[in-house]
Amino acid sequence: VISRQVQKINILNAIKAGAQDFVAEPSENEVLLKRLLYHLAPQDTVDSDAYEFNPIQAPLDVEPVNLMVEVCEHLSHAERGTESVVLHEVLSKVGQLAGSNRTSLVVAELGAETGVVLASSDDPSFNNFPLMLSKYPEIQHVMFSGKFVLIPDVKSHDLTSQIENQVKSIPIGSLMVFPVRYQNEVIGVLTIRRPRVSEIPSMTQLRILQAIANTMAAQSNIQLTLRRIYRDQAKKRQVNCKKSST
């Protein structure tokens, strides 16, 4: 769907009607081309419902289960003002399990042009960083569809074949993006980048990684709500300044 009607209710209605994507007008040709290439890419390297809603088979791998427990403990014991530090610790542990050189938590509103990186595994000082979502169509797709994206070889995928030219700070061989859901609404993503071409993890690890993403949803929603409040307050101040100047 390509539309100027970018209100949240219109986007949700498009999803319910079966739309695979939503592009807000006006849109640059480069952005539209990237979204088209994304959907034309082979499905087995984009996303798959086959990994969701399937029961986890026993016996369970101990390591990912332990990680899930640790994440819950870290988040539940986080003190006020230490959110960024705790999220960095959690993402570092997730990155170690997934063999990732950069694991990040991003929040954004549905249909928004920008998002915010709340924390990243490879740098504790890298937080609350604004992100132009048009440069990351894989994130936009996850935000819109609620499905997770699996790209085992970024060079063989039309969308990410030039990723080395865009991200030079770290090597990227494969990519995974999971939705962060709060009250059945996607409010962000968990991105896992790995330095080499890698096979898709086991069903158990995928399910646990998705569960970890959702475990961080409450903290992500708080940050998203605060940003809405600050934004609304800024708009009110601008309106008041215009009124007072006239």
Q: Are 125 and 119 in contact (CB under 8 A)?
A: no
pTM, two decimals, is: 0.78
Tell me what pLDDT residue 236 has.
73
Quick: pLDDT tens for 138-169. Answer: 888 888 888 888 888 888 876 676 676 677 78
Task: Give the strand pairing for 23-24 and 2-3.
Answer: parallel
Q: Which stretches of the chain drop beneath a pLDDT of 50?
A: 45-46
Residues 6+ apart with CB under 8 A from 220: 105, 107, 118, 180, 182, 187, 188
Tell me what pLDDT residue 229 has.
74
Quick: pLDDT tens for 168-182. Answer: 788 899 999 999 998
Task: Give the strand pairing for 102-107 and 23-24.
Answer: unpaired
Residues 6+ apart with CB under 8 A from 205: 61, 64, 97, 98
Tell me what pLDDT residue 73 has.
86
Tell me what pLDDT residue 55 has.
62
Tell me what pLDDT residue 45 has.
46
